[in-house]
């Protein structure tokens, strides 16, 4: 496609949970747009919430300098604001009242003269962006999530950093597990996808890896722990995804955030399993939930590079007129996919994944 010479002003927002590498994308988008194409760049504060509330400010070259290695996002973010289902209050019973404020959000973008909006986020953000397309707003998506669960891209930025953080936690917990001869469970994020737990578990040498895609059997898990104890293995290290569940059973829900577009918050399965293992084996067991520590901190070099590539490619897509699509990495090459193909879908770990196969071959239990 030829360059779109009518592009003058673009917006950028970061939606959903925070993630290492967000600032690297903001930097790449802003600097590429200004330096290479002479575009104006506006930053939307706190994701779609800022678009709904018209909190939009200019981003200059100096605003994005020296943020490459910073975690979090200088624009702020929100995982509760979906223009198509926005909580505007509560009824008399305390239940949230939702309204579709998409036209308001799009109106604010038009009032600011935005030709296109760069939406940096995960599946929730892509789903929200896809719905805004239906209201006449042009968008370009950049895939972000520590869960690595977006469709049609082999990898998302933030994943490598989260894997490194979780792996370091496993390394540290292994020493106390060995010292006290315990079964130690480390619970990781990922929702219904096991990518983070599988990769961190493999990198950290976990003896058991429990992911949502494979239902576990508590009796078999207990038997593995007892067998290791009897054969002079002084401890068992278990990497468990927050979305792991027993075969035929349900996930453990930590809480429900009713005003959120994605109200179910998982968490606590490691604590449930720790009690079951202690009762079933008479071995001492402890659970550690990593939680938001996995989202924080400085991005790895890999994520900085990937985020920079994604951000620059997003601007190139805009200038080619390749709109309403998301940047993707497929087979080591940058490409684009329709944002509607990503919306409201989740990429799960296939049962023939090579790392899953390799882990099984080395004697790692998947709990089944």
Write out the catalytic residue numbers. 147
> Parallel, antiparallel, or unpaired: how do β-strands 96-99 and 86-90 relate?
antiparallel
Question: Which tokens hold the place of 74?
Answer: 């200088």
CA distance readout (Å), 168 to 53, 76, 186, 359: 40, 27, 11, 19
> b/e for 211-250, b at 16 or more Cβ within 10 A?
bbbbbbebeebbebbbebbeeeeebbbbbbbbbbbbeeee
Cβ atoms of 309 and 336 closer than 8 Å: no
Kindly state the helix (H) or strand (E) to which residue 11 belongs, with its residue range: strand 9-14
**Residue-by-residue DSSP string for 301-334:** HHHHHHHHHHHHHHHHHHHHT--SEEEEEETTEE
Cβ atoms of 307 and 157 closer than 8 Å: yes
CA distance linking residue 47 with residue 61, whole number of Å: 21
Kindly state the helix (H) or strand (E) to which residue 240 belongs, with its residue range: strand 236-241
Question: Which tokens hold the place of 262?
Answer: 């994605």
Q: Report the chain's terminal Cα–Cα distance, integer Å.
A: 51
């Amino acid at each position: 496609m030829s360059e779109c010479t009518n592009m003058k002003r673009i917006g950028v927002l970061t939606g959903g949970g925070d993630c290492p590498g967000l600032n690297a994308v903001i930097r790449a988008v802003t600097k590429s747009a200004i330096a290479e194409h002479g575009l104006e760049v506006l930053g939307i504060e706190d994701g779609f919430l800022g678009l709904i509330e018209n909190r939009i400010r200019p981003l200059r070259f100096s605003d994005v300098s020296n943020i490459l290695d910073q975690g979090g996002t200088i624009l702020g973010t929100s995982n509760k604001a979906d223009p198509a289902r926005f909580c505007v209050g509560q009824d008399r019973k305390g239940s949230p009242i939702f309204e579709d404020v998409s036209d308001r959000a799009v109106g604010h973008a038009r009032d600011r003269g935005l030709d296109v909006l760069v939406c940096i986020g995960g599946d929730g953000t892509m789903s929200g962006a896809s719905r805004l397309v239906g209201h006449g707003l042009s968008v370009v998506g950049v895939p972000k999530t520590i869960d690595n669960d977006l469709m049609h891209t082999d990898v998302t930025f933030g994943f490598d950093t989260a894997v490194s953080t979780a792996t370091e936690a496993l390394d540290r917990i292994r020493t106390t597990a060995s010292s006290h001869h315990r079964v130690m469970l480390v619970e990781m994020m990922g929702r219904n996808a096991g990518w983070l737990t599988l990769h961190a578990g493999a990198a950290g040498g976990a003896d058991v890896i429990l992911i949502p895609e494979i239902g576990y059997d508590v009796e078999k898990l207990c038997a593995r722990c007892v067998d290791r104890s009897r054969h002079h293995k002084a401890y068992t290290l278990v990497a468990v995804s927050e979305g792991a569940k027993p075969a035929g059973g349900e996930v453990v829900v930590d809480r429900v955030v009713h005003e959120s577009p994605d109200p179910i918050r998982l968490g606590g399965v490691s604590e449930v399993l720790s009690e079951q293992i202690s009762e079933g084996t008479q071995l001492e067991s402890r659970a550690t939930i990593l939680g938001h520590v996995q989202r924080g901190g400085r991005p790895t070099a890999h994520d900085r590079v990937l985020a920079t590539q994604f951000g620059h490619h997003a601007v190139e897509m805009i200038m080619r007129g390749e709109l309403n699509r998301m940047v993707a990495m497929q087979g080591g090459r940058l490409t684009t996919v329709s944002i509607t193909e990503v919306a409201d879908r989740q990429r799960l770990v296939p049962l023939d994944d090579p790392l899953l196969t390799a882990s099984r071959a080395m004697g790692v239990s998947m709990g089944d």
